[in-house]
């Protein structure tokens, strides 16, 4: 009797929780059956503008740039401008010490004058003294020749009268030949005094002297630095009195009315670029400004830029207010495509199955799969070109973890 009572007590203890669990299941099933709709977020397909863009970074470069470097070892004599100054073409900007350069230019000028004198002497047959001496010798030779001719004529006349011997006539003829030979030698000397190697040597010396003088003049001009065009002095890394080694940078000037922006496009995006694509340039220092340009160069090679493989493209930007400065880093947005007045939906509304795109349109609180044709897209939006009507209500995703499917009952939540 005792064992039967114990068994009955045990059964009663299990019956109570079983009944409670069953009631809970029935209550939950009743609740679910009363409200089976899955909460979803939704959006209405609307017409608007969609842009497919390539976002990257870039650097500003001057279109026209002038760098002045020290041509020789020297010192800074005087600085006439400051960084940021607007300067005019021909304006004197910096003066470097030119004492040694002036001395070298003077020596080179003297060499040029000396070589000019040598060439003049060569062309005229010698220097002034040599020319006068030669002309005097030619006059004397002509006189000697005339005298010898008259003497020979006289002796021949006397010979006809048997008053002169054959030996005397022979001596007179020899004397006339010597006089004519001396004259011809002097005339030849006057005409062709210098040989071709001598002429070539003198002309080469003149060319060398002229080149040395031109180089000295060039150095002298570089020591007085002038603006080659209207622009802005944007770098001036020297101080008055500073020592400069050959090649040291003295000054940089640029025409900043237009600047070049060099953009670094990641390798996967290079194929999306086309000539004349619009470009928008931004700078963190002036977040309210946007500069406009177009793609002017399509990358022809991929380069390693820091840790990225990039293609470089450029655009020209109007900078008449001189706000963009050389070498600053900027943000670059390249508009690869832009479509206006087209139907768009958020990216998360578009699904893929077997390379086919579809959306879930909400019709009568029920999901209906709609296969669509898409066009361009960006990080947030997709253009739907076919398969969906304007103002159609499209599901984005469930508010809980339940997956979406065709025919699913839903309710829109915000």
Task: State pLDDT tens for residues 197-241.
Answer: 666 676 677 777 788 778 878 888 889 999 999 999 999 999 999
For 128, 138, 194, 273, 360, the CA distances from 125, given in Å and listed in that order, are: 9, 14, 8, 73, 106
- Residue 164's contacts (CB-CB under 8 Å, 6 or more residues apart) are 155, 156, 158
Answer for the pair 35, 220: CB distance below 8 angstroms, yes or no.
no
**pLDDT score of 256:** 93
Distance CA 360, CA 41 (A): 11
Strands 308-318 and 303-305: antiparallel
Distance CA 59, CA 101 (A): 39
- Residue 412's contacts (CB-CB under 8 Å, 6 or more residues apart) are 39, 40, 41, 42, 362, 393
- CB-CB neighbours of 398 under 10 Å: 16
- Residue 341's contacts (CB-CB under 8 Å, 6 or more residues apart) are 47, 48, 49
Strands 243-244 and 231-235: unpaired
Per DSSP, what are the bridge partners of residue 58? 263, 330
**pLDDT score of 164:** 77
**pLDDT score of 226:** 94
Answer for the pair 279, 335: CB distance below 8 angstroms, yes or no.
yes
Residue in this structure with the two tokens 């209906």, named with its chain if needed: 368
Distance CA 328, CA 152 (A): 100
Distance CA 171, CA 47 (A): 127
Show the tokens assigned to 74. Answer: 């020297």
Sign of CA dihedral 140, 144, 146, 147: positive
Residue 9 CA to its chain's centroid (Å): 96
Distance CA 344, CA 381 (A): 6
Q: pTM for this structure?
A: 0.60
**pLDDT score of 198:** 62
Closest by CA to 326, choosing from 58, 72, 132, is 58
CA atoms within 13 A on the CB side of 23: 6
At residue 104, the 3 state secondary structure works out as: helix
Closest by CA to 227, choosing from 87, 370, 386, is 87
Per DSSP, what are the bridge partners of residue 342? 48
Residue in this structure with the two tokens 């021949």, named with its chain if needed: 156
Distance CA 162, CA 329 (A): 117
Answer for the pair 223, 74: CB distance below 8 angstroms, yes or no.
yes
Can you list the residues of the chain whose pLDDT is less than 50?
1-3, 6, 8, 10, 19, 26-34
Q: What is the DSSP letter of 37?
A: P
């Amino acid at each position: 009797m005792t064992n039967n009572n114990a068994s009955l007590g045990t059964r009663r203890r299990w019956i109570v929780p079983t009944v409670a669990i069953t009631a809970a299941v029935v209550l939950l099933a009743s609740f679910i059956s009363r409200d089976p709709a899955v909460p979803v977020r939704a959006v209405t397909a609307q017409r608007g503008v969609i842009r497919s863009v390539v976002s990257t970074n870039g650097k500003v470069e001057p279109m026209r740039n002038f760098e002045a470097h020290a041509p020789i070892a020297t010192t800074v004599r005087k600085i006439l401008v400051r960084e940021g100054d607007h300067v005019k073409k021909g304006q004197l900007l910096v003066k470097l010490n030119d004492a040694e350069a002036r001395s070298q230019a003077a020596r080179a000028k003297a060499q040029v004058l000396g070589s000019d004198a040598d060439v003049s002497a060569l062309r005229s047959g010698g220097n002034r003294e040599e020319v006068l001496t030669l002309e005097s010798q030619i006059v004397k030779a002509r006189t000697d020749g005339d005298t010898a001719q008259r003497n020979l004529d006289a002796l021949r006349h006397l010979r006809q009268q048997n008053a002169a011997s054959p030996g005397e006539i022979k001596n007179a003829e020899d004397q006339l030949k010597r006089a004519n030979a001396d004259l011809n030698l002097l005339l030849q000397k006057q005409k062709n005094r210098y040989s071709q190697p001598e002429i070539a040597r003198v002309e080469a010396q003149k060319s060398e002297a002229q080149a040395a003088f031109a180089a000295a003049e060039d150095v002298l001009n570089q020591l007085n630095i002038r603006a080659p065009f209207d622009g802005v002095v944007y770098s001036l890394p020297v101080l008055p009195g500073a020592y400069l080694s050959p090649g040291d940078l003295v000054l940089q000037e640029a025409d900043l009315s237009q600047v070049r922006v060099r953009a670094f496009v990641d390798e996967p995006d290079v194929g999306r670029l086309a000539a004349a694509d619009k470009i928008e340039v931004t700078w963190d220092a002036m977040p309210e400004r946007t500069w406009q340009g177009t793609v002017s160069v399509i990358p022809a090679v991929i380069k390693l830029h820091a840790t990225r493989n990039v293609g470089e493209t450029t655009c020209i930007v109007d900078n008449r207010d001189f706000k963009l400065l050389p070498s600053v880093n900027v943000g670059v947005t390249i508009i690869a495509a832009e479509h206006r007045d087209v139907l768009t939906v958020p990216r998360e509304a578009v699904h893929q199955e077997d390379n086919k795109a579809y959306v879930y349109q909400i019709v009568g609180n029920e999901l209906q799969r709609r296969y669509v044709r898409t066009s361009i897209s960006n990080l947030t939006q997709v253009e739907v070109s076919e398969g969906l009507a304007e103002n159609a209500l499209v599901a984005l995703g469930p508010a809980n973890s339940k997956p979406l499917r065709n025919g699913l009952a839903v309710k829109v939540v915000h």
